[in-house]
Structure 1
């Protein structure tokens, strides 16, 4: 994440209703973090060699480029109405939407986008642009989906990995800025083995296992409240598949924060299976935080 004070919150727009919801949340988040807001639109038509200027003998306000200018202005107007006084800029950038947003990420504090945009396939729960940006961006990515519950806590998935540590730091900062508690959730399924090749026990004490998992979770979060002194932190160890546990917990959260890839996931995956599951099934907005490449 770019830590410079000038780093903007970037929101991708395409004229769709999900994009406008993303603009409103991005403006609110930029105001909380005292960051400027940058509204961008990936203008793909020049890459496809499509004429973007008005055709001959048509009104001067026509053409694809003018339509893009209109949707940028509409998004800027929406942001200004949401957060008056916020520093806001808008730009049309030639390129495919996901590539444009990933290109913005090295100098952004946060990228915000809707879960689905114009032209998305109806069968997709989360659009391909959202998944691609979450997988490749060099800064945290906020995908706006589900219900808005501003009074509920922020939820973060923790598994002891470097990615989840970064996610916990981001979630703690977000919870403090929003004035709500942070709930750290660790999902577990069965006792772990102590050495490679060890057999997992067939019989074990569930209460003892649960206590061990809670202590492990607390150990992973050592120092978090010291770094964020106003943080109200609750730790929860829950038995179950991580994706399902987090999706259920998201019903009473305002935001779910996950690492881009956690323990036990295939190294070659740019976006871990748990992150993808949460993106598709969470009942509230999701932030994906990836470790630096």
Structure 2
């Protein structure tokens, strides 16, 4: 019979697990988390700059907004508008939260919120983030010890990369791309099926609308096949969103077009360079309407 490991081995293991958990928790709560404050500082710089008579339009969104829109517009491209958008991977507010505090104090003329930001996991969001951070930290430790490439942690978020570079699609063969697109659609179905609306954020947007800020809820639609697959779940969630944040004089819902052309998305969700070029005229027309409406 194999003897049990000595007590000190269990104690060392428990100490190691506790240390990793404490490190991850500190990383989550610490005031020096780089993405949060790099994004917030960039938002502050945009909002504090002199308007010079221009309509200031700020966008908050997921990586779908990064893939579809430019980080800024030169004066020659769209006169009378100052445009900037801040994005993050995945759904929910995440590290855009400090930017919302700045927006409360110094709001733009128009705030565009891509609807993925309004999704909230019904589970405890903080604990879910800690679980993900713990998994990443654990994988990173094992990767360093073993060199197993399958356990390599994901690349860290590069602060403000979306301000400097276009969204980069992974190069995937066409026969694999369709399979991945279907897997992506199934995952999105689950997200919309289980998701609830972030009521704290909708209440915040209502207060901004009462202060004469124009709020635009932007639905960036995915590839036609994906939209067809996720339609029932997404429709239910959008109904919940409209109930929580009804349209009005300062709250508007906006849907992007669905294009019949194929191969405009990396994964059925994020636009590639060709998709962004096709999207650009429609997007500039919407910004012009927002400018003229002010």
* TM-score bucket (shorter structure): under 0.3
Comparing both structures, which one devotes a greater share of its residues to helix?
2
TM-score, length basis structure 1 = 0.26
TM-score, length basis structure 2 = 0.25
